[in-house]
C-alpha cells in the first residue's frame, strides 16, 4: 500500500525543520513504512511550503 504524507513543520526563522522531518521519517520506518520519494511543495514565489513523502509498506 502507498500513501502521501505532507510535512509542514517549520523552524522559527522560516524553512522546513529538517531535524523534525528526519524524526518523522525514522518514526515511519519504525512503523514499517519505507520512503519511496520526497519532493517539495512551493508557493507562488518559489518558497518551500511543505515536504511531500510518498511512503509504502508491504500490506
* C-alpha dihedral, 47 to 43 to 35 to 10, nearest 10°: 60
Compute the distance between CA of residue 36 and CA of residue 32 in angstroms, rounded to an integer: 13
Compute the distance between CA of residue 58 and CA of residue 39 in angstroms, rounded to an integer: 22
> Residue 1 is part of which domain span?
1-54
pLDDT tens string for the chain (59 positions)? 999 999 987 776 777 888 999 999 999 999 999 999 999 998 898 888 899 999 999 87
Q: Is the pTM of this model over 0.75?
A: yes
Tell which residue, 22, 44, 40, 31, has the closest CA to residue 1.
31
Q: Is residue 15 part of a domain?
A: yes
Q: Is residue 59 part of a domain?
A: no
Q: Is residue 6 part of a domain?
A: yes
Cell representation of residue 42 = 512551493
Amino acid at each position: 500500500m502507498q500513501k502521501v504524507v505532507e510535512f509542514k513543520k517549520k523552524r522559527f526563522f522560516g524553512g522546513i525543520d529538517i531535524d523534525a522531518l528526519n524524526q518523522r521519517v525514522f518514526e515511519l520506518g519504525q512503523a514499517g513504512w519505507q520512503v519511496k520519494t520526497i519532493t517539495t511543495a512551493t508557493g507562488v514565489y518559489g518558497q518551500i511550503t511543505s515536504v511531500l513523502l510518498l511512503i509504502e509498506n508491504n500490506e
